[in-house]
Amino acid sequence: DAKTTQPPSMDCAEGRAANLPCNHSTISGNEYVYWYRQIHSQGPQYIIHGLKNNETNEMASLIITEDRKSSTLILPHATLRDTAVYYCIVSGGGFKTIFGAGTRLFVKA
């Protein structure tokens, strides 16, 4: 599975959009991009995944570049409860899921 690179931490003002980037330049054609988040002392929470097209659900939007080498997770109106570690994972649909260090997002009032 392809490796991902994320900034270690980011800040966002409450009510503003949080844009979390992820680089996955070695992604292959059948690999999906998944995003999870982990709020302190809880289990990770699945957010969204995509292959080529942009995706949106009730939690977030996922924008994948045309060459698929990077993606951005967008939380449209961040709240204090969105403070968490966000993990971007690339996987070919098999069982193995490798978590990187993730991005620690701080949402500030």
Partner 1 sequence: DTEVTQTPKHLVMGMTNKKSLKCEQHMGHRAMYWYKQKAKKPPELMFVYSYEKLSINESVPSRFSPECPNSSLLNLHLHALQPEDSALYLCASGTSGRTTTNEQFFGPGTRLTVL
Joined tokens for residue 85: 């570690």
Of 7, 14, 21, 44, which one interacts with partner 1 (CB under 8 A)?
A: 44
Q: With CB under 8 A as the rule, give the number of residues binding partner 1.
A: 23
In the 8-state DSSP scheme, what is residue 5?
Answer: B
**3-class DSSP state of 106:** strand
Q: Are 28 and 2 in contact (CB under 8 A)?
A: yes
Nearer to partner 1, 16 or 46 (CB): 46
Provide the residue type at 49 as one letter.
H
Of 13, 17, 80, 101, which one interacts with partner 1 (CB under 8 A)?
A: 101
Phi and psi torsions of 5, nearest 5°: -125, 125
**Sole window of 11-19, 32-40, 62-70, 75-83 interacting with partner 1 (rule: CB under 8 A):** 32-40
Task: Give the interface with partner 1 as residue ranges (CB under 8 A).
Answer: 32, 34, 36, 41-46, 49, 85, 87, 91, 93-102
